Amino acid sequence: MTDRRSFLKTSAVAVSVLALTQSGSAFASDNEGYKGIVYTKENPGQWAKKVGSHAPVVTVKGSEVTVETKHPMSEAHYIVRHTLVLADGTVIGGKTFTPKDKPVSTYTLPAGYKGDLYATSFCNLHDFWLTEVKA
């Protein structure tokens, strides 16, 4: 239950942060102000040794987007959820995982969308991660 509350609290902060980035500026490379809240490959903070298994890997093929977290899944330690958000804050989708799932999710972009994409991944032990890519 604590993990879910933490996740919801962290997610609410992250969504608020993303909603404020209306300009489409490079958020992932400019998250110095969100230390300890949002972790990225560029700014992993306390989790510097966890980048490879926590920063979501995003693959864009046309309008199809795949988000994968290369993280082991067990009852004690697993990826809880992914989301995909456009630069204007539009949430394209999300997927909640159980410890038995593989932490991979797929999404379809709006027709003709070109711009920034924000993929998030939440680990029950290592917090909230963000990867930004261009579509």
Binding residues (CB under 5 A) for Fe ion: these are: 123, 125-126
- Of 93, 97, 129, 88, the C-alpha closest to 109 is 93
| Nearer residue to Fe ion within complex by CB, 8 or 125 | 125
Q: How far is CA 101 from CA 65, 105, 119, in A?
A: 19, 10, 18
- Nearest distance from residue 117's CB to Fe ion, in Å? 22
Q: How far is CA 10 from CA 79, 84, 120, 128, in A?
A: 14, 16, 11, 7
Rg (CA), the chain: 14
| Nearer residue to Fe ion within complex by CB, 77 or 134 | 77
| Nearer residue to Fe ion within complex by CB, 43 or 92 | 43
| Nearer residue to Fe ion within complex by CB, 33 or 74 | 74
- Nearest distance from residue 126's CB to Fe ion, in Å? 4
Handedness of CA 51, 19, 124, 69 (dihedral sign): negative
- Nearest distance from residue 124's CB to Fe ion, in Å? 7
Measured from each CB, the residue nearest to Fe ion is 123
- Nearest distance from residue 6's CB to Fe ion, in Å? 13
